[in-house]
Amino acid sequence: MYTEIVMDHFMNPRNVGEIENADGIGEVGNVKCGDIMRIYIKVVDETISEIKFKTFGCGSAIAASSVATEIIKGLTIEEALKVTNKQVVEALGGLPAVKVHCSVLAEQALKAAIYDYASKNDKTYAGLEGFDPADDHDHHDVVEIEF
């Protein structure tokens, strides 16, 4: 049911924890399933130099958080904003259709962290146009990703 990659990131998650004095913090959650994801970023010269997460949720949510941090670390803000939930799913070698929403949470938590950073630093990014971290996204209503 789960790939070896998903199981590895669930059992041995990377970049877990908090960043003290983070430049941006993003939190998203879904009350229907109980998954809550918080991402912390440190930004140096418009590059995400450090990223950590804390996730309360199922194994897929933890694995999606973990692999997302590995994809994002070292990217510029603009590059990070182009990371999609589909890339997270692909990096995990796939997720069951009922768990794809976990990858959407990772994408949204990252955007929320960058939004927080941008707000604190009076910056704007094209990838944040129309994004509102206060929106109540129902992450269970995502379209199934085909491979």
Q: Which residues are catalytic?
A: 33, 102
Query: What is the rounded CA–CA span in Å between residue 115 and residue 131?
Result: 8
Tell the residue number behind the tokens 């929403």, with chain if given: 101
Instruction: Decide: helix, strand or coil at residue 43.
Output: strand
Cβ neighbour number for residue 139 with a 10 Å cutoff: 22
Burial 38-72 (b: 16+ CB within 10 A, else e): bbbbbbeeeebebbbbebebebbbbbbbbbbbebb
Instruction: Decide: helix, strand or coil at residue 78.
Output: helix
Instruction: Decide: helix, strand or coil at residue 66.
Output: helix
